[in-house]
């Protein structure tokens, strides 16, 4: 039932420089608000916030990670990119938690715990 035109307009607004700047400013400055209400967000407001956050992340990644600008093309593109990014992050976290790390209890002194082989 979620009207496609409204969904597209919502994405367009969230991508706009004006709303991206406002979103950034709201995080930095107290008292600046995106919506009249600060709690009890409606369904559409929650959707809008998700879009704002997603487009902010994508814009950063286009500049810093040099990903293809085509990611902004449509929902399939950015959803796929986020899915891949999320899974990559989870893989990395898993790998890091599997690594046994030596702990420095005193500055300059490293205690080498005996390595236990994983089964």
Partner 1 sequence: MDTRLEEAQKIAKEYEEQNQLAQVEDFIKDNKVKFTVDSKNYRIRLLNLSEKNELDTLRRKKFGQLLQDKDILLEKDLVKQYKERGVDISELDDSMKKIEAEMFNLQMKLGESIAKNEGNTVVDTYKKQVEELITEKNTIFTQKSMLLEYSLENQLLSYVYQIITYLSLEQSVEDSWERMFTTFEKFEKATEEQEKVINTAAQYTVLLQNV
Q: What is the binding site for partner 1 (CB under 8 A)?
A: 1-3, 5-6, 9-10, 12-13, 35-37, 40, 42-46, 48, 61, 65-68, 70-71, 76-77, 79-85, 87
Euclidean distance between CA atoms 91 and 16, whole angstroms? 33
Which residue lies nearer to partner 1 by CB, 33 or 100?
33
Q: Considering the complex, what minimum distance in angstroms separates the CB of residue 30 from partner 1?
A: 19
Q: Considering the complex, what minimum distance in angstroms separates the CB of residue 51 from partner 1?
A: 10
What DSSP string runs through 4-21? HHHHHHHHHHHHSHHHHH
Reading the block at residue 70, the tokens are 């085509």
Over the Cα atoms of the chain, what is R_g?
Answer: 21
């Amino acid at each position: 039932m979620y009207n496609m035109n409204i969904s597209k307009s919502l994405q367009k607004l969230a991508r706009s420089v004006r709303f991206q700047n406002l979103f950034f400013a709201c995080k930095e400055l107290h008292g600046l608000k995106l919506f009249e209400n600060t709690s009890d967000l409606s369904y559409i407001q929650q959707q809008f916030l998700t879009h704002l956050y997603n487009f902010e992340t994508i814009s950063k990644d286009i500049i810093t990670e040099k990903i293809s600008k085509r990611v902004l093309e449509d929902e399939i593109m950015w959803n796929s990119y986020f899915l891949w990014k999320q899974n990559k992050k989870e893989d990395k976290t898993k790998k890091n938690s599997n690594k046994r790390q030596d702990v420095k209890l005193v500055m300059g002194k490293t205690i080498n715990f005996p390595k236990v082989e994983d089964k």
